[in-house]
Amino acid sequence: AQSVTQLGSHVSVSEGALVLLRCNYSSSVPPYLFWYVQYPNQGLQLLLKYTTGATLVKGINGFEAEFKKSETSFHLTKPSAHMSDAAEYFCAVREGDYKLSFGAGTTVTVRA
Amino acid sequence: NAGVTQTPKFRVLKTGQSMTLLCAQDMNHEYMYWYRQDPGMGLRLIHYSVGEGTTAKGEVPDGYNVSRLKKQNFLLGLESAAPSQTSVYFCASSSGLVYGYTFGSGTRLTVV
């Protein structure tokens, strides 16, 4: 079985500060890992993904994540938070051949 | 290019009423999914389909039925709505897990 744990349901950062969102997963198959962002009253948009190859992946809006197999982690970072980064973020891992399993989500608040 | 379109966007039902949510995608994706999103619980899979004419149960299928008569459409039915089905429903589609999902903008359903 696969599962995703996002540490911290709420994260508050100052504008310009580092954003760090933590994701740990368990998987019985080579993982495909994803981060999605959801702005208020919208659907989820893909931020970035890891499937194979380079373990440091870059996504949209200045976000990046690093796949660490030994730690079963896929943490999301952004060096400098912007007000527009306020949203809910979801980590996901593939579950078998057809499905993704999602974490509970982390809400990011950015303080001016 | 519309992507994934969900109708309706909002609906209020009385307990015991029935309704159908429609999801349409124009990307020729094989896989389609229905999720519900509730606060603090992330996204939970209701049903999914891996091709025209096929459906399968997800994590929380009770009280819902689905049909995929055409490749581009995936319908979610509630036969007898209950207050516990108050939620935001998201449809997603995919051409393969390596690409992740494309999500619709959601349907906010309230059952009173």
Note which residues in 74-93 of chain B have CB less than 8 A from chain A: 90, 92
In chain A, which residue's Cα lies nearest the Cα of B44? A102
From chain A, pick out residues whose CB is under 8 angstroms from the CB of B103: 36, 43-45
pLDDT by residue (tens digit) across A56-104? 999 999 999 999 999 999 999 999 999 999 999 999 999 888 999 999 9
User: What is the pLDDT at residue B1?
Assistant: 63
From chain B, pick out residues whose CB is under 8 angstroms from the CB of A41: 106
Sequential DSSP letters for B25-41 = ESS--SEEEEEEE-TTS
Q: Does B27 touch chain A (CB under 8 A)?
A: no
What is the percent of chain B with per-residue pLDDT over 70, rounded to a whole number?
99
Collapsing DSSP to helix, strand or coil, B35 comes out as: strand
Minimal Cα–Cα distance from B42 to chain A, Å?
A: 4
Which residues have a Cβ under 8 Å from the Cβ of A69 and sit 6 or more positions away? Answer: A55
pLDDT by residue (tens digit) across A9-44? 999 999 999 999 999 999 878 899 999 999 998 999
User: What is the pLDDT at residue A29?
Assistant: 81
pLDDT by residue (tens digit) across B13-50? 999 999 999 999 999 999 999 999 998 888 999 999 99
